[in-house]
Structure formats: structure tokens, C-alpha cells
């Protein structure tokens, strides 16, 4: 019989959940000197944090519900993150077309004026009035739009942001364990004793439950306890369709039900359309767009754009679930009116704390992490203040960035510019890690399709916790969109072969 050596390691803090919040907390806590372990049941960012609309924004629509505090705090984070991650978080212009029967134009202008002034714009362009007649918008929008407004926000590859948090945390000592589910957590003999799906166990002084939509499921199943807040699970879906228009801007389409739909230029040849709000009643293991949601998004586009979309134009869909919490069980607001702010619920029994993270946004993950780790101060003597405002991410260190960029292009001049740009967008300075010694395309090894080469895949397998082709094609990159099914299968078989000969896949 095979002998297995199960281990029990001891940490200060165990974080459950490898989404943007869990990895953000891991980075913050490790930077403050805590010994941290993070367990994620699947791939990093495999749940909500790869299924968002990917906006780094204040949330214009939250102004309508009077959530000024959330909007201001998110706008401050937008500025901070754009400075910390230059080139990774990109500015994006949003066109808000106006037609009769919508929120009045003066109200939209007022809202956008407030939006531009509530937080710092930094290098972003301010709001401007736009006409849609006899210009580049005329072939795109239907005739019922004559004028509108254009404003700025930020855009990020959400799944890669999670990876950068995890990489930074790991670099300074955090133990990051994907594909490792926490199956039980109990207080025993002066510490938390945690059981993992691989048979290992962990001892820790404190826990953070950053399981996103699984927050209450974790409390019930792993802690065998009662949830501290009630949440409503609401699914949001996106569809990816062939490019709707040849403009750089995103559009915001106002819907008759009071909601808004974004259309965002995506992966060069596509447009991302979303999102929906549907009550999610099935398992959290299966989060998929329903036909009803797909039809809703297609109708939203077809109502306002000249280009007509059919069901067969939908090339990919993805969905995520928000755990919306309400302060009062009686208050049953429409999902789009419930606050997107977060709440941290602390249970400090036996001086062994667990913090449950409820809600949040990609945009505010850093602030959420600061607040979470601050709550641990009474339990760890000498735990200092957060350093995430000033410590740069190695891949996007702004110091000497221009010089590095120039050298990068010079060094790899024989490789196609489109490839160099994709790597820079996805990996920043880490591109050097897998390009070391590469002179021309033939040094990149086997090509799997769509500009994905062996070098990059080996790097992802050895340095970014990748185990399946899904991780490569839909989270570390979005090259799945550009490949045929035969190419995708080819990648999976190659990766399996490499894993069987694990000694060979070191860089
Ligand atoms: C449709 C949609 C659009 C959105 N758009 C935006 C946007 O444009 N901008 C913005 O700022 N925010 C947006 N958000 C919000 C944002 O996506 C979420 O707030 C954020 O991703 C939540 O991250 P998280 O880490 O809390 O949760 P998740 O990313 O869901 O991570 C939780 C992780 O915990 C893991 N887990 C669960 N149980 C266990 C266990 N027992 N053991 C180990 N691991 C476990 C899960 O596998 C999961 O990976 C959007 C949300 C949705 C749903």
C-alpha cells in the first residue's frame, strides 16, 4: 500500500479562499510580518474574481442610491491602484448615450460631475458631452440617440490581479495552496485546527473566511456553526461576442428595468457584454448563464446598436455570484439597489478570531485587506500598519519602468510586437522570467496556437500554480477565445505529458 506522509504545519493566519480578497489579505498580512497560509479549493481566481466586469471604478450607479461613501472610497482606490499598477490597470472611456424616456440628461450630467469631483481623477480625462450625429458613432448606434456623455474609469484583468497578489505574497513567504479545500475548522487546545482535502492539517492562531459567495456555506459546513449575516446569492453573467464596433470606448446602455448594461472592447476581436442579475439557487459549483440571461443581454445590444446579434454570435459566457448582504431581513431591495460595500464580521471566541468577509468589489480589495488585517491587531502583539499603499508590485514597479520597457523591446526585437505587447500586458516585468535567453521565435519551443508557446506554459506551470489547460486558457490568459478546440485539446495533452514527467518541466 502507498505510504503517505500527512503534515501539520503551524501558521499565524490561515486564509480560506484564493480570490481577489483572500490573496489581497495574504499580501497585506505577510507584508506586516505574519506567517500566512492561503488555501483555495480550486484554481486561484476560479470563482467570482475571474467573472467580474473587470472595472476599477467608483460605481456611477451607486450614486443613484446615495452610496457616496462607497463611491468615494472606491474612487480613491482607483487612483491608488492605477499608480501602483501602471500599465496593468488601464484607463477606459465610457459612452453614455441618451434617449427620451431615460434618466434625464441634466441628471446624468450632474451625476457625472459629482463622480469626477468625489474622488481624484489623476491622469483620467474628465466627463465630456458627445454628439452621435455625422461622426464615428453614427454607424454604431441606432438613430434614437442624438447626444450623450463620455466619462473615465479603469479596467483590469481581474484573474491576473489575483495572481499578482498571490505571487507577491508568496515571494515574501506566504504559503499559497491552490486545489486544497478546507474541510473543517475547529478551536482546539488554544489554536485553530484545520483539516484539508489532501489529508494535511494546519494549526493557526487566526482565520479569515474569504470564500466570497461560499461565506455562509463555509461557516455551516466547515465550522459547523451559524452564519453571522444572511446573504442573497445573485448571479451576474456576461456574454462575449464578435467585436460590435471599431471604437476604443465602452458603452453603457440604460435598460427599461432601471439596470445598465456595459459593452466593453475585449481581447482585440471581441466585445464583452454584461451583466445580469439573477437569483442563484443551484449549487455554487455550477455557475452558468441561463438562456434567459443570454437573451436579455442580446436584446439590450440589439435595441441600441445597429449591428444585430444572434444567439449563434455568443462565443463564450461566464458568470459569477455576488453574496449580497442586507442590514435587515425585512428590507428586500431589487438586487441592483443593494450596496456593493463590504462588511467584516468578527467572531473572537476563546481569543482565537475568525473574520468572515461579506461582499466587496475588485476595486476595493486592497482597502478590504487593510481593514481585515487591522482587526487582527489585538491578537498579534506588535502587528504594524499596512504597507500596501507604498510597496510596489515587482511586475509593475514604476521605478525605472520606462528604461526597462525600452530595454525589453530592444532585447526581444526579433519576436513579433503583438506577442511582446500581450506578455507586457499580462506579466509586466515578469515576462523576463520566461524569455531569458530567447533570441527568436524558435527558442520559444512548441506553439499551441494563438501565439501561446511552450516557454510561457512551462513558466505558468512552475511559477503560477497552473495545473490544467483551463487555468492557462481562461484565467492566466484568455487565449482560449482565440484557439480552436483541437488546439486547446493539444495543450491539455501536452501538459498532462509534462506532469507525468515532472522532472522535465522545470525552467
Ligand atoms: C457579475 C459580477 C460583476 C462584477 N463586476 C465588478 C466590477 O466590474 N468591478 C468591481 O470592482 N467588482 C465587481 N464585482 C465584484 C467582485 O467580482 C467581487 O467582489 C470579488 O471578486 C469577490 O472576491 P472574493 O475573493 O471575495 O471571492 P471569490 O473570488 O469568489 O473567491 C472566493 C474563493 O474561495 C474559494 N473557496 C470557497 N470555499 C472554500 C473552501 N472550503 N476551501 C478553500 N477555498 C474555498 C472559492 O473556490 C473561491 O475561489 C462583480 C461581481 C460579479 C458577480
- Mean of the per-residue pLDDT values of the chain: 94
Q: Is any atom of ligand 1 closer than 6 Å to the C-beta of 412?
A: no
**Tens-place pLDDT, residues 139-196:** 999 999 999 999 999 999 999 999 999 999 999 999 999 999 999 999 999 999 999 9
Q: Given pLDDT bands bounded at 50, 70 and 90, which one contains residue 327?
A: low
Contact of 236 with 45, CB cutoff 8 Å: no
What average pLDDT does the segment 191-208 reach? 97
- CA atoms 13, 15, 18, 22: torsion sign: negative
Residue with cell 446573504: 231
pTM, 2 dp? 0.96
**Tens-place pLDDT, residues 296-325:** 999 999 999 999 999 999 999 999 999 987
Peptide bond into 462 cis (omega under 30): no
Cell numbers of 403, please? 528604461
**Tens-place pLDDT, residues 85-120:** 999 999 999 999 998 888 888 999 999 999 999 999
DSSP for 373-426, written as a single string: HHTTGGGSTT-----TTTSPPGGG--TTHHHHHHHHHHHTTTS-HHHHHHHHHH
Which domains are delineated in the chain?
A: 8-48+159-230+339-379 (3.50.50.60), 68-155+232-337 (3.30.9.10), 400-504 (1.10.8.870)
Q: What dihedral angle (degrees, nearest 10) is formed by the CA atoms of 7, 10, 13, 14? A: 10
Site to substitute for ligand 1 among 18, 19, 54, most atoms within 8 A of C-beta: 19
Residue with cell 478546507: 182
pLDDT at 51 over 70: yes
Q: Is any atom of ligand 1 closer than 6 Å to the C-beta of 362?
A: yes
Q: Is any atom of ligand 1 closer than 6 Å to the C-beta of 167?
A: no
Contact of 207 with 355, CB cutoff 8 Å: yes
pLDDT of residue 413: 96
- C-alpha 11 – ligand 1 centre gap (Å): 24
What average pLDDT does the segment 39-48 reach? 98
pLDDT at 3 over 50: no
Cα separation of 104 and 77, whole Å? 29
Cα separation of 388 and 350, whole Å? 30
Q: Given pLDDT bands bounded at 50, 70 and 90, which one contains residue 258?
A: confident
> Of residues 465 and 134, which shows the higher confidence score?
465
- For residue 272, list its beta bridge partners: 240, 264
179-to-20, 45, 114, 205, 491 alpha-carbon distances in Å: 16, 11, 44, 23, 20
- C-alpha 378 – ligand 1 centre gap (Å): 28
Peptide bond into 290 cis (omega under 30): no
* Phi, psi dihedrals of residue 380, rounded to the nearest 5°: -130, 105
pLDDT of residue 507: 44
Amino acid at each position: 500500500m502507498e505510504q503517505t506522509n500527512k503534515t501539520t504545519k503551524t501558521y499565524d493566519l490561515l486564509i480560506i479562499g484564493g480570490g481577489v480578497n483572500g490573496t489581497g489579505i495574504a499580501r497585506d498580512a505577510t507584508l506586516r510580518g505574519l506567517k500566512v497560509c492561503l488555501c483555495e479549493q480550486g484554481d486561484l481566481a476560479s470563482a467570482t474574481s475571474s467573472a467580474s466586469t473587470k472595472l476599477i471604478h467608483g460605481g456611477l450607479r451607486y450614486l443613484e442610491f446615495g452610496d457616496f461613501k462607497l463611491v468615494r472610497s472606491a474612487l480613491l482606490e482607483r487612483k491608488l491602484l492605477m499608480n501602483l499598477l501602471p500599465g496593468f490597470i488601464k484607463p477606459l472611456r465610457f459612452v453614455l448615450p441618451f434617449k427620451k424616456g431615460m434618466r434625464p440628461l441634466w441628471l446624468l450630467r450632474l451625476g457625472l460631475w459629482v463622480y469626477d469631483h468625489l474622488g481624484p481623477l489623476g491622469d483620467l480625462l474628465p466627463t465630456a458631452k458627445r454628439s452621435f450625429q455625422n461622426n464615428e458613432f453614427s454607424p454604431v448606434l441606432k438613430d434614437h440617440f442624438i447626444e450623450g456623455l463620455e466619462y473615465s474609469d479603469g479596467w483590469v484583468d481581474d484573474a491576473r490581479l489575483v495572481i499578482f497578489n498571490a505571487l507577491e505574497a508568496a515571494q515574501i513567504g506566504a504559503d499559497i495552496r491552490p486545489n486544497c479545500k478546507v474541510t473543517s475548522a475547529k478551536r482546539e487546545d488554544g489554536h485553530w485546527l484545520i483539516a484539508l482535502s489532501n489529508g494535511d492539517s494546519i494549526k493557526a492562531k487566526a482565520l479569515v473566511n474569504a470564500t466570497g459567495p461560499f461565506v455562509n456555506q463555509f461557516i455551516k459546513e466547515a465550522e459547523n456553526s451559524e452564519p453571522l449575516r444572511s446573504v442573497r446569492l445573485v448571479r451576474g453573467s456576461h456574454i462575449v461576442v464578435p467585436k460590435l464596433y471599431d471604437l476604443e470606448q465602452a458603452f453603457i446602455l440604460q435598460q427599461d428595468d432601471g439596470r445598465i448594461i456595459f459593452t466593453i472592447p475585449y481581447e482585440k476581436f471581441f466585445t464583452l457584454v454584461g451583466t445580469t442579475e439573477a437569483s442563484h439557487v443551484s449549487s455554487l459549483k455550477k455557475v452558468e448563464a441561463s438562456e434567459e440571461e443570454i437573451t436579455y443581454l442580446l436584446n439590450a445590444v440589439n435595441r441600441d446598436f445597429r449591428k444585430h446579434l444572434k444567439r449563434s454570435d455568443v462565443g463564450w459566457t461566464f458568470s459569477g455570484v455576488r453574496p449580497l448582504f442586507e442590514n435587515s431581513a425585512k428590507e428586500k431591495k431589487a438586487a441592483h439597489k443593494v450596496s456593493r460595500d463590504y462588511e467584516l464580521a468578527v467572531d473572537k471566541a476563546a481569543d482565537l478570531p475568525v473574520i468572515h468577509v461579506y461582499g466587496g468589489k475588485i476595486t476595493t480589495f486592497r482597502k478590504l485587506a487593510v481593514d481585515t488585517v487591522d482587526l487582527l491587531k489585538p491578537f498579534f502583539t506588535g502587528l504594524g500598519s499596512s504597507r500596501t499603499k507604498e510597496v510596489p508590485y515587482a511586475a509593475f514597479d514604476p521605478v525605472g519602468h520606462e528604461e526597462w520597457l525600452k530595454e525589453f523591446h530592444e532585447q526581444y526585437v526579433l519576436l513579433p510586437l503583438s506577442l511582446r505587447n500581450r506578455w507586457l500586458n499580462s506579466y509586466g516585468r515578469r515576462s523576463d522570467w520566461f524569455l531569458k535567453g530567447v533570441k527568436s521565435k524558435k527558442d520559444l519551443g512548441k506553439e499551441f496556437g494563438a501565439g501561446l508557446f511552450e516557454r510561457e506554459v512551462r513558466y505558468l506551470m512552475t511559477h503560477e500554480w497552473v495545473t490544467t489547460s483551463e487555468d492557462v486558457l481562461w484565467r492566466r490568459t484568455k487565449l482560449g477565445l482565440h484557439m480552436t478546440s483541437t488546439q486547446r485539446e493539444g495543450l491539455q495533452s501536452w501538459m498532462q505529458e509534462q506532469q507525468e514527467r515532472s522532472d522535465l518541466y522545470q525552467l
